Structure 1
Amino acid sequence: MPTPLYTASPSRLLAWLDCPRRYRMQYLDRPRPAARAQRAHTSVGIATHNALRDFWDLPHADRTPAGVAALVRTSWIDVGFRDAEQSATWRLKVRDGVTNYLRGIDRHQQPLGIERSVSLRTDSIAVTGRIDRLDARDGELVVVDYKTGRHEPTETDARTSLPLALYAAGASRTMRRPCFRVELHHIPTGNVVAHEHTPESLQRKLAEAESIARDLRTADAEFREQGTESPRFPARPSAMCPWCDYRAHCEEGQRMGPEKSDWAGLETGT
């Protein structure tokens, strides 16, 4: 019998690269270890994405600053903030950031897809992902990914991103139209960075995904046989450990410094 395709999402592939221990706890352990409570910067990101998603459902007459403010207000998630004052301050920041960003685009040009799921298959993997926004421009598709954090993405981020490349390949196959351009839109600043893939560069990214999936297939099979005794899931200590949702279950991660506060992702110099 042929070997079944390994099914994964881009986030699953990247979780393995970041830390095999976190990958195991997030995707394999049953019951799954309890993750820490949601942080404020995650609440900001989700609320921003939801407002940008729902904006395109508004009638054209309501695509105004007042309409955006209403969307942000109804999308707001009051979780992880230091106090009510900090939450209110950041809600206004998100309102202003989303409003300014939308002023810089054609609000009457409806995207081809919003939070559109796309998939692709190769000889060894089946990958499914969800694109923040899929545009149709000059007969080709463009993948748009929203970024809401403090880090302002660069062209290198767009060029090297495995998820963006997989989204582009998946969109092309799902929609049967060319898709080579990927963009990162930084909502707080309105800056956009882009990369134009080629068929060859997308193929290299697919090969990268297949290579990761081969490792995951082996690791998953060993976990089914040995469980948490498997040596294939070592911790990979790094500067990200104080931010990890599963830090409470990882001694190596706890040794990397004190846990970040719920609102540390909103502050400069953290």
Structure 2
Amino acid sequence: MVEPVRTAAADGATSGTVRRPALSPSRASDFKQCPLLYRFRAVDRLPETPTRAQARGTVVHSVLEKLFALPTAERRPERAHELLPGAWAELREREPELAELFDGPDDPELTRWLSSADSLLDAYFELEDPRRLEPEACELRVETELDSGVLLRGFIDRVDVAPTGEIRLVDYKTGAAPRQIGEAKAMFQMKFYALVLWRTRGELPRQLLLMYLADKQSLAYAPDEAELRRFEKTLEAIWQAIRKAGETGDFRPNPSKLCGWCDHQARCPEFGGTPPPYPGWPEPDPGPESVLDRTD
């Protein structure tokens, strides 16, 4: 997902206000997976090496966002392909380190990478016809505070509203995560967005739609009120655990098969490493998620 441009004033950077720490789907998933990973990403803000797969997902999301900004009749596959080079150039400008993924513009690997992104765009058009849709919003930033005081924040790929008022939340998936793990994480993310939208608008989304472009499949799910109330309690419990760890710095590692993909093994006690000194709980909020934070 590509983060929309926001001014400093919109973020409170020049208004003198202090942004409170918030819970996002990515950070909540991090803590569930491994509290120490959460600390490295949300508290220490340690850099991570981006991957070609992450960058490709971000670029594809950007193209789809741009596609829906076009007049309806122009939302065709060939137009999406035309948007791809510009989306890649914009991402490199925002994240200059991504240029290091390839050996210059003539790198054959770059050509193959762009071709793979084109294939994902073609897959999208096999799943739906964007000329028949008029989303209410793309890359929608949402935020709400629960009655317990937990602040939730995130970005939704797309919000569709039917003429009769029913709301559908759509998320595009381009990553190669194992399906069982990937779907569980994706559905957690979608329930998070459904809860935020419900608490914000007072209306329960009728459908949560995951579009898996790599295998040209869609997964639709209809949440109910009781389920979202239970999910709200889950998020509150996660936040309480985060704040408890934040008070002491006791963010413990949780070894799993996912450790093989972690950038922080050299700092992890499970692999003989030592975390940096705990800097304390971040106040104000350590900042918005990066572009690559919100790719799948």
TM bracket, shorter-chain basis: 0.7 to 0.9
Q: What is the CA distance between 1:101 and its match in structure 2?
A: 1.2
In 2, Cα distance between the equivalents of 1:10 and 1:49? Answer: 17
Counterpart of 1:42 (choices 43, 54, 61) is: 54
Partner of 1:16: 31
Confirm or deny that 1:114 pairs with 2:165: no
Q: Match of 2:142, SS?
A: strand
TM-score by length of 2: 0.72
2:196 aligned residue (167, 170, 174):
170
Q: 1:249 aligns with which of 267, 280, 284?
A: 267
Aligned AA for 2:117? Answer: V
1:26-175 alignment runs, 5 A limit: 26-29=41-44, 32-33=45-46, 35-76=47-88, 79-80=100-101, 84-108=107-131, 109-124=133-148, 125-137=150-162, 138-151=164-177, 153=179, 157=183, 161-175=187-201
Q: Do the aligned residues in 1 keep the contact of 2:127 with 2:217 (CA within 8 Å)?
A: no
Contact 2:65 2:138 in 1 (8 A): yes
Equivalent residue, structure 2, for 1:259: none
Q: Shift in Å at residue 141 of structure 1?
A: 0.8
CA distance 1:6–1:97, change in 2 (3 Å): closer
Structure 1: runs of 5+ lacking an equivalent: 224-231, 256-270
How many percent of aligned residue pairs carry the same amino acid?
27
Aligned length: 240
Q: CA deviation at 1:171?
A: 1.6
SS at match of 2:253: coil
Instruction: Mark the CA change 1:212 to 1:180 in structure 2 (over 3 Å): closer, same or farther.
Output: farther
Q: CA deviation at 1:251?
A: 4.6
SS of equivalent residue, structure 2 residue 41: helix
Q: Deviations over 1:215-262 (max 9, x none)?
A: 111111223xxxxxxxx212222222231132332252479xxxxxxx
Deviation at 1:65, TM superposition (A): 2.4
Structure 1 82/204 Cα, relative in aligned 2: closer, same or farther at 3 Å? farther
Cα deviation, 1:47-104, whole Å, max 9, x if unaligned, reads: 1111111111123343222211111122236553589222211211211321331253
Secondary structure at the aligned position of 1:135 is classed as strand
Deviation at 1:161, TM superposition (A): 2.5
Partner of 2:290: none
Aligned counterparts of 1:97 and 1:146: Cα–Cα separation in 2: 10
Structure 1 residues 7 and 159, CA gap change in structure 2 (3 angstroms): closer
Match of 2:229 in 1: 203
Q: How does 1:218-237 map to 2 (within 5 A)?
A: 218-223=244-249, 232-237=250-255
Paired residues of 2:139 and 2:156 also in contact (CA < 8 A): yes
Question: What amino acid is aligned across from residue 155 of structure 2 in structure 1?
Answer: R
> In angstroms, what is the RMSD of aligned CA positions?
2.7
**Separation in 2, partners of 1:55, 1:135:** 15
TM-score (norm 1): 0.78
Query: CA 1:246–1:91 in 2, change beyond 3 Å: closer, same or farther?
Result: same
Aligned partners of 1:249, 1:152: CA distance in 2, in Å?
Answer: 25
Query: Kindly tell me: are residues 152 and 52 of structure 1, through their superposed partners in 2, closer, same or farther at Cα, counting changes over 3 Å?
Result: farther
Given that residues 77 and 121 in structure 2 are in contact (C-alpha distance below 8 angstroms), is that contact kept between their aligned partners in structure 1?
no
Give distance in 2, aligned partners of 1:113 and 1:89: 32
Contact persistence 1:141–1:172 (CA under 8 A)? no
Q: Give distance in 1, aligned partners of 2:203 and 2:125.
A: 26
Farther off after superposition, 80-89 or 173-182 = 80-89
Secondary structure (helix, strand or coil) at the match of 1:127 reads: strand
Change (3 A) 1:81 1:192: farther
Q: Which has the higher contact order (CA 8 A, sep 6+)?
A: 2
- Residue of structure 1 equivalent to 2:278: none
Distance in 2 separating the partners of 1:41 and 1:250: 24
Query: 1:179 Cα shift?
Result: 0.8
Deviation at residue 133 of structure 1 after TM alignment: 0.8
SS at match of 1:7: coil
